[in-house]
Structures are given as structure tokens and as C-alpha cells.
């Protein structure tokens, strides 16, 4: 989901995203929530602490692929193929159910956490090895480090005076071309990241139409594959 703390329509959508993530984890379903905070609402007076220009550029790439008329928040995209207003819980449930019905035909993907390279003992890097089955052409491997249970006060902008809570916030992200079905990714993460509340989500994407063809996650603290 593309979201922002500077948008007063986003908190209800954040609640939907949290519910989706919680339900999937409890049921053991292969549904992985990603909250990309964009930066274009910062002009209203509050710079989203999780916002990034790279997230805005990623939303622009989806807009081109999906034929969207423009950027907006909250925007939910399911499996890189269906987009709608992120607070629409009914449409989210329908799109996720449709995607799960096709899960048996997706690309197998396995993730394993590795020790960080020497010299980074401060825990600011995450190293993951991935192995995937059949690949689309062109293919990309995306890796996101997400954190749950983040809270902060918002003193300015459309949400001024509110204390917001977010789950599945993308704290670090990379996307690399994928020519073979295995590889290793070394990603820097913020020093404030709490590994007890963080997961790594990896997913294989058709770099043409942006459809997701395989995904997996691993909890950062325990290295438990899900």
C-alpha cells in the first residue's frame, strides 16, 4: 500500500493493512503486507519519518504499468495487478482471495537469513539468500524489511494532533534484476529498527507488467521462514 502520515485519509487504510497482516500471520497464509510511505504529502507541513522519494518513484512505475491516471493515497495494490483505494476492506478481501486461489501456480521462493558481513556488528545490515523456481522475463527480485507496531505523534499537516500507529512499514527496500533463480542480497537498514518486530519480505516480480509471481517472508529475530 502507498500511504503517508501527511494524508488524513490514510489512517483508516493503515488499520485495514494491519488487519490483513495480522490475519495472514495468524492463519499462516502467504499474504505479505508492505506499507510504502511516499513523500509528496510532506509539502503540507509534516515530513513523514518513513517517507522516501524512492517510494514515490515506485508508485509512479505502478501507475505507468497499470494505466492509472495519477498518484493518490491510500492506494492498495494486490499482486502488482489490481489497484484500489486502500481503505476499501471489502475490495481488499476480494482481491486477496482471488490471488490466494492462484497461489498453487506461483513461483516457489525460499529465503534464508545469513550473518551480516564483518564490520557491521551494529546490526544495520540484513543479508538474505534467495532461491526461486521458474522466472518471468524480465524478472526482478524485490526485498523489503518491514517493521510492525510503530507509533509517533504528528504535530502538523492533515493529521495534526493525532498519534498514529502503523504496521508493515517498509524501512528498507531494494529491487534487482533477476537472471538466475538464486542469489544473495545485502541491505542496509535503519539503526532504530527493532528486529523483534521486523520481517524480511522477498518477492519475484514480472518487471514488465509488475505482476507478482512468487513471495516469501522470514522473521528477522528468529529467522523463522513463513
Does the residue 87 lie in any domain? yes
Does the residue 225 lie in any domain? no
C-alpha cell at position 4: 503517508
- For residue 11, what pLDDT is reported? 98
Res. 68 pLDDT band, cuts 50 70 90: confident
Alpha carbons 200 and 216: distance in angstroms, whole number? 8
Average per-residue pLDDT for the chain: 92
The dihedral over CA atoms of 195, 148, 17, 166, expressed in degrees to the nearest 10, equals -140
Res. 123 pLDDT band, cuts 50 70 90: low
| Cell 517517507 -> residue | 51
pTM of the model: 0.94
Alpha carbons 17 and 185: distance in angstroms, whole number? 26
Q: Is the pLDDT of residue 118 over 50?
A: no
Res. 116 pLDDT band, cuts 50 70 90: low
Does the residue 79 lie in any domain? yes
Alpha carbons 168 and 150: distance in angstroms, whole number? 9
The CATH number covering residue 28 comes to 2.60.40.10
Convert the pLDDT of each residue in 5-55 to its tens digit: 999 999 999 999 999 999 999 999 999 999 999 999 999 999 999 999 999
Convert the pLDDT of each residue in 135-160 to its tens digit: 988 999 999 999 999 999 999 999 99
CA dihedral sign of residues 48, 54, 58, 60 = positive
Convert the pLDDT of each residue in 188-210 to its tens digit: 999 999 999 999 999 999 999 99
Residues 6+ apart with CB under 8 A from 108: 132, 133, 214
Query: What is the domain extent for residue 82?
Result: 2-219
Q: Is the pLDDT of residue 224 over 60?
A: no
CB-based burial of residue 117 (10 Å sphere; 0-12 exposed, 13-18 middle, 19+ buried)?
exposed
CB-based burial of residue 131 (10 Å sphere; 0-12 exposed, 13-18 middle, 19+ buried)?
middle
Does the residue 175 lie in any domain? yes
Report the share of the chain in percent with pLDDT over 90: 85
How many structural domains is the chain composed of?
Answer: 1
Alpha carbons 73 and 173: distance in angstroms, whole number? 20
| Cell 493493512 -> residue | 17
Contact 71, 95 (CB under 8 A): no
Does the residue 224 lie in any domain? no
Does the residue 30 lie in any domain? yes
C-alpha cell at position 135: 522466472
Convert the pLDDT of each residue in 159-170 to its tens digit: 999 999 999 999
Amino acid at each position: 500500500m502507498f500511504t503517508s502520515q501527511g494524508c488524513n485519509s490514510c489512517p483508516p487504510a493503515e488499520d485495514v493493512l494491519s488487519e490483513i497482516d495480522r490475519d495472514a500471520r495468524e492463519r499462516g497464509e502467504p499474504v505479505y503486507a508492505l506499507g510504502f510511505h511516499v513523500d509528496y504529502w510532506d509539502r503540507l507541513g509534516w515530513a513523514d519519518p518513513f517517507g522516501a522519494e524512492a517510494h514515490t518513484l515506485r508508485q509512479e512505475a505502478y501507475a505507468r504499468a497499470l494505466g492509472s491516471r495519477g498518484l493518490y493515497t491510500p492506494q492498495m495494490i494486490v499482486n502488482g495487478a489490481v489497484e484500489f483505494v486502500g481503505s476499501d476492506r471489502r475490495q481488499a478481501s476480494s482481491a486477496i482471495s482471488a490471488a490466494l486461489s492462484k497461489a498453487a501456480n506461483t513461483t516457489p521462493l525460499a529465503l534464508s537469513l545469513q550473518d551480516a558481513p564483518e564490520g557491521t556488528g551494529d546490526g544495520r545490515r540484513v543479508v538474505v539468500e534467495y532461491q526461486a523456481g521458474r522466472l518471468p522475463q524480465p524478472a526482478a527480485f524485490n526485498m523489503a524489511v518491514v517493521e510492525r507496531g510503530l507509533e509517533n505523534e504528528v504535530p502538523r499537516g492533515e493529521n495534526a494532533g493525532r498519534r498514529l500507529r502503523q504496521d508493515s512499514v517498509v524501512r528498507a527496500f531494494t529491487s534487482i534484476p533477476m537472471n538466475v533463480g538464486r542469489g544473495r542480497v545485502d541491505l542496509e537498514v535503519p539503526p532504530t529498527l527493532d528486529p523483534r518486530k521486523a520481517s524480511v519480505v522477498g518477492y519475484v516480480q514480472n518487471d514488465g507488467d509488475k505482476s507478482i509471481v512468487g513471495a516469501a517472508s522470514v522473521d528477522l529475530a528468529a529467522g523463522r521462514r513463513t
